[in-house]
Homo-oligomer: A and B are copies of this chain.
Amino acid sequence: MSEQMQQLREILGEVSDLGRAAAVLGWDQETYMPRGGVRARAEQLATLRRLAHTRFTSAEVGRLLDALAAETAALDPASDDASLIRVTRRDYDHSCKLSPELVAEISRATSLARPAWIDARAQSDFALFAPYLEKNVALNQRVAEALGYTSHPYDALLDRSEPDMTAAQLRTLFDELKAAIVPLVRAIAAQGAVIDDSCLYRGYDEQQQLALGLQVVQQYGFDMERGREDLTTHPFCTSFAPGDVRITTRVSRDFLPMALFGTMHESGHGMYEQGVNPAFDRTPLCRGASPGVHESQSRLWENLVGRSRPFWQHWYGKLQAAFPAQLQDVDGATFYRAVNKVSPSPIRVEADEVTYNLHILLRFELEMALLEGQLKVADLPAAWNARMQEYLGITPPNDAQGVLQDIHWSGVGFGGFPGYTLGNIIGAQLFAQVHAAIPDLDSQIAAGEFAGLLGWLRTNLYQHGRKFTANELLQRITGGPLSTAPWISYVRQKFGDLYGLAA
């Protein structure tokens, strides 16, 4: 390694350590921290983040990156060193474009908007939140201007998390999805079958639920020597190193899917982080490629595996044995249908696989319109409800269950929602690819064997960490670009079958 590469790695290691320390503090805040710790924790996190930002955006890093760009120019772009310089440069340019003043203003605005949003949602009173959202929209616009863009400010925001993806590309994807989903939802409604999912709402002992969830994800391959699971209010996954990946969940006695599928979901994020090449440790390459690619793994293990027929062929007997009183009169087919029931809901996080992307489409369109200034914050609730009616045929009973439901807009992070839909699409693309590579995958899953699937994902995706963008990864793995076709084919087949629709 050249001396300059060594110097850069030392600084990146320090920045990584600070970021990971902040992640530990964040995890603790959401799992164990007593209420009295809030104020001091905010100071500690602000200090760690400020130090990390200052160190990373120092002129020294710029000089080293300039020098190393020349040094790595001759390398294969897919090599580790070339990727490290390319990805670090991208992060560096983004970080440097945001002035410390703007970063501080965003931090302050979020601190003020978060409690306002909590109040507004509790009282279902959008007016309480509107002035803060106006401020946040303006800050999103300022961030977009600071980052720069060619055709649409949304591109600037998107580029931070999903490099080389554009609003235009998303628009195309969403159009394709909408064209497929809306008729499917209508066909399901027209078919008239109502799935009985009452078996999911029987009292399930929480400790047994958690134990079963852990049993499933350990069989998936989530390594408890290099991770753990804890309880929290809003589940998440966080990584402090490939050897220390924490997943979290919540559990309801009266709703079985919450902990079970939630744990599967987070384990997908977790196995991704546990699978990153250890050689990338303490560099910007040492995490998943992007929010969209990350979500592809949580959705894959939760839905494509965890809500599949083969999965329950193996696991339903164990579930029944764990909860005989609740499930003795429920057969596997009934249970499979229950956990796959399609039912338009006003709430995104409760949405089924078919309608989920429509919730994201709605948010994508509204963020675009707000950014452009075409939609005023005051008109947002009406615009929200109109789209809910148009896409899902329902109107939220109130703003708390409508425009105020998500935490996201209390922060300054427009451009984040599409990651959920990208996750669904990419997950289906990759799963189709695995099926092609492992023809008996379904039989393996039905036998409770996941090593083949996990091995393929590690080799083709996880180990690369953040070396490649989502588009680059899809090109490498599938030989083609991002495509909605596998996901559309998946939902048409699965739910057509489930609801007895004509092919």
Interface residues of A (CB under 8 A from B): 13-14, 17-18, 20-22, 24-25, 28, 32-41, 43-44, 46-48, 51, 223-228, 230, 240-244, 281-282
Q: Known contacts A24-B25, A36-B242; can you find 15 more A-B pairs with CB under 8 A? A: A13-B47, A17-B47, A18-B47, A20-B40, A21-B21, A24-B28, A24-B44, A32-B228, A34-B226, A36-B223, A36-B226, A37-B243, A37-B244, A41-B241, A41-B244
Chain B residue at smallest Cβ distance from A17 = B47
Given contacts A25-B24, A28-B24, contact A17 B44 (CB under 8 A): yes
Residues from chain B with a CB closer than 8 A to the CB of A51 are 14, 18, 51
Residues from chain B with a CB closer than 8 A to the CB of A35 are 225-226
A36 with B243: CB separation less than 8 A: yes
13 contacts between A and B (CB under 8 A): A13-B43, A18-B48, A21-B25, A21-B47, A33-B244, A34-B224, A36-B226, A36-B241, A36-B243, A36-B244, A37-B226, A37-B241, A38-B243
Residues from chain B with a CB closer than 8 A to the CB of A240 are 37, 40-41, 44
A40 with B225: CB separation less than 8 A: no
A21 partner, pick from B38, B48, B241, B242, beta carbons under 8 A: B48
Cβ of A333 to closest chain B Cβ, rounded Å: 38
Residues from chain B with a CB closer than 8 A to the CB of A282 are 40, 43
Count identical subunits in the complex.
2
B36 with A225: CB separation less than 8 A: yes
A227 with B34: CB separation less than 8 A: yes
Residues from chain B with a CB closer than 8 A to the CB of A18 are 47-48, 51
Query: In the complex, A57 Cα to B409 Cα: how many Å?
Result: 42
A243 with B20: CB separation less than 8 A: no
Closest 3 CB pairs of A and B: A37-B244, A40-B241, A36-B243
Residues from chain B with a CB closer than 8 A to the CB of A17 are 43-44, 46-48
Query: In the complex, A48 Cα to B24 Cα: how many Å?
Result: 13
A244 with B34: CB separation less than 8 A: yes
Residues from chain B with a CB closer than 8 A to the CB of A33 are 244
Residues from chain B with a CB closer than 8 A to the CB of A227 are 34, 36
Query: In the complex, A14 Cα to B43 Cα: how many Å?
Result: 9
Chain B residue at smallest Cβ distance from A23 = B44
Query: In the complex, A498 Cα to B167 Cα: how many Å?
Result: 82
Residues from chain B with a CB closer than 8 A to the CB of A46 are 17
B44 with A228: CB separation less than 8 A: no
Cβ of A288 to closest chain B Cβ, rounded Å: 17
Chain B residue at smallest Cβ distance from A38 = B243
Query: In the complex, A471 Cα to B461 Cα: how many Å?
Result: 63
Residues from chain B with a CB closer than 8 A to the CB of A24 are 21, 24-25, 28, 44
Residues from chain B with a CB closer than 8 A to the CB of A230 are 32
Query: In the complex, A102 Cα to B421 Cα: how many Å?
Result: 54
Cβ of A453 to closest chain B Cβ, rounded Å: 22
B228 with A34: CB separation less than 8 A: yes
A39 partner, pick from B34, B48, B243, beta carbons under 8 A: B243
